[in-house]
């Protein structure tokens, strides 16, 4: 199988106390660890209620944007395979040791052509969920706020979107489920790609923009009702909503975009269809990209393309 999923998103926040309030009290993530990084930055580690590995979100105090993404592979030999493929693509790969990330095993680290840092690992400490695995209840009895069950995906910007798609296809065996193109002609250029290695409608998406930037990372919710309730709670908690609740044309998912206190864009996302590698790829042309991104408003707001961290 290779890459199973995005195991963690590690992001920077300007103020850890405010950020903790957002990710714990509003989003309802479970704090699993705090420490100080080797370079002296305070960090906090979180997981959603339906995740069993030690953490899926890491906040690091100082600045904004994404530090790195962790990708969990099914077998330890997948690390070696990806290492070779990445090197073959001309990328410099370094080995990372167990414990460089708390509760995460050995692996590799490299910078993608889009200038995002990826870590690939196979081992993580499984701490389980509150409902356990023996005759488990359907969900924990006392969730906090939005009660996000899990990290879902991220969208980043890159100067060369097609190049990044090629990289993810080659190195991670990702395939695109939807693409945005300047035209349907042969000389149409790819300005957006939504990619996955499994049945999630997207694990990692890339749109045109500056290198190394974060557009958003997303939490998975159960359905449209939960998306609407999340928006209600954001209002109660003074969380700035960017757009939503609405539907995406691309992926068909239901969504709210919002900002954490440091200005990093978050998303809650539900629905979307099951992805399969043999399903014909959906193609969106730029004239319909407003509808593709915000299915109801049918136009992009300026923030969508300009606010990045």
> Which positions lie near a second copy, rule CB under 8 A?
1, 4-5, 50, 52-53, 72, 74, 126, 128, 133-139, 141, 149-150, 184, 198-200, 220, 222-225, 228, 231-237, 241, 244-247, 249, 252, 254, 256, 271, 273-274, 276-285, 288, 291-292, 295-298
Q: Minimum distance from CB of 4 to a second copy (Å)?
A: 6
**Is-contact 185 251, C-beta < 8 A?**
no
Is-catalytic flag, 202?
Answer: yes
Q: Minimum distance from CB of 203 to a second copy (Å)?
A: 11
Q: Minimum distance from CB of 14 to a second copy (Å)?
A: 23
3-class SS of residue 116: coil
Six-digit token string for 45:
């580690």
Is-catalytic flag, 248?
Answer: yes
**Is-contact 268 225, C-beta < 8 A?**
no
Closest to a second copy by CB, 34 or 225: 225
Backbone angles phi, psi at 292, to 5 degrees: -65, -40
Burial of 94 (0-12, 13-18, 19+ CB in 10 A): exposed
C-alpha distances out from residue 115 to 62, 112, 165, 198, Å: 19, 5, 13, 24
Give the separation between CA 144 and CA 68, rounded to whole angstroms. 27
Q: Minimum distance from CB of 116 to a second copy (Å)?
A: 23
Closest to a second copy by CB, 120 or 234: 234
Closest to a second copy by CB, 104 or 158: 104
Q: Minimum distance from CB of 27 to a second copy (Å)?
A: 14
Closest to a second copy by CB, 20 or 72: 72
Is-catalytic flag, 116?
Answer: no
Is-catalytic flag, 153?
Answer: yes
Residue of 10, 54, 55, 153 with catalytic role: 153
Length, in residues, of the chain: 309
State the Rg of the chain over Cα: 18
Q: Minimum distance from CB of 197 to a second copy (Å)?
A: 9
Closest to a second copy by CB, 209 or 249: 249
Residue of 60, 121, 216, 226 with catalytic role: 216
Which residues have a Cβ under 8 Å from the Cβ of 298 and sit 6 or more positions away? 290, 291
Residue of 8, 202, 215, 226 with catalytic role: 202
Give the separation between CA 249 and CA 251, rounded to whole angstroms. 6
How far does CA 275 lie from the centroid of its chain? 16
Give the separation between CA 67 and CA 65, rounded to whole angstroms. 7
Give the separation between CA 276 and CA 291, rounded to whole angstroms. 23
C-alpha distances out from residue 219 to 8, 137, 226, 268, Å: 11, 21, 12, 5
Closest to a second copy by CB, 37 or 276: 276
Q: Which residues are catalytic?
A: 153, 202, 216, 248, 257, 267
């Amino acid at each position: 199988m290779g890459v199973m999923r995005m195991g963690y998103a590690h992001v920077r926040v300007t103020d850890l106390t405010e950020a903790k309030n957002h990710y714990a009290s509003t989003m309802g993530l479970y704090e699993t660890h705090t420490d100080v990084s080797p370079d002296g930055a305070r960090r906090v580690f979180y997981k959603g209620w339906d995740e069993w590995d030690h953490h899926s979100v890491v906040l690091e105090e100082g600045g904004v944007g994404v530090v790195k993404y962790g990708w969990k592979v099914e077998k330890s030999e997948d690390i070696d395979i990806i290492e070779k493929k990445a090197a073959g693509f001309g990328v410099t790969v370094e080995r990372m040791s167990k414990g460089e990330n708390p509760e995460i095993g050995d692996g590799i680290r490299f910078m993608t052509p889009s200038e995002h840092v990826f870590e690939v690992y196979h081992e993580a400490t499984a701490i389980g969920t509150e409902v356990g695995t023996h005759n488990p209840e359907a969900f924990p009895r006392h969730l906090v706020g939005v009660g996000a069950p899990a990290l879902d995906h991220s969208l980043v910007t890159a100067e060369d979107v097609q190049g990044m798609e090629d990289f993810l296809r080659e190195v991670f065996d990702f395939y695109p489920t939807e693409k945005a193109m300047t035209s349907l002609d042969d000389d149409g250029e790819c300005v957006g790609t939504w990619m996955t290695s499994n049945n999630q409608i997207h694990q990692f998406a890339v749109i045109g923009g500056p290198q190394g930037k974060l557009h958003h990372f997303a939490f998975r919710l159960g359905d449209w009702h939960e998306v609407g309730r999340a928006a209600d709670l954001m209002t109660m908690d003074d969380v700035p909503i960017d757009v939503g609740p609405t539907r995406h044309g691309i992926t068909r998912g239901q969504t709210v975009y919002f900002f954490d206190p440091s200005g990093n864009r978050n998303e809650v996302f539900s629905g979307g269809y099951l992805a399969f590698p043999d399903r014909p790829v959906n193609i969106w042309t730029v004239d319909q990209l407003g509808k593709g991104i915000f299915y109801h408003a049918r136009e992009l707001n300026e923030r969508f393309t300009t606010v990045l961290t």
